[in-house]
Each structure stands twice: as C-alpha cells, then as structure tokens.
Amino acid sequence: MRTFPGAPAFDHDAVRTFFLDFEDPDWEKALEEFRFTDIELPARLTVDGQVFENIGVRNRGASSTCIWT
C-alpha cells in the first residue's frame, strides 16, 4: 500500500486509502438502524499510517457516509 504522509490532504496526485475499524462487529446493521438520526457509531480511522481514535461515523443522505474526528 502506498502512502502520502507529506502530501496535502486534498492533493490531486495522491489517492489515499481510508481504513475504518468499528468497535461494533455488526457495524453495518448499526449504521442502518441509526440512518435517519444524528447518532454516530464510534470508530478508529487510519490514513497514511496515522491513526485517529474516537471518531464518529453516521449515514448522511441516501447513500453517503460522513466522518468526524
């Protein structure tokens, strides 16, 4: 896996992979259950080897998912 730790967040030459690790093993079901609420599912995000703990993930709109740190 290629990483871009020194590149700006929105660099046009960098295609990043975002890894989400959820505390809930049945995270897909939980996201669906909370779909039309403001409830965020706890998770950990890893990007370019940097780990962001305690983020919240929730469904937003018809099929998109938003992430907050």
Q: Enter the pTM of the model.
A: 0.72
For residues 37-43, average pLDDT: 90
- Both structure tokens of 7: 């590149």
Q: What amino acid occupies position 43?
A: A
Give dist(CA 57, CA 16) in Å, integer.
Answer: 18
pLDDT band at residue 49 using 50, 70 and 90 as cut-offs: confident
Confidence of residue 64 (pLDDT cuts 50, 70, 90): low
15-38 pLDDT, tens per residue?
Answer: 888 899 999 899 989 988 888 888
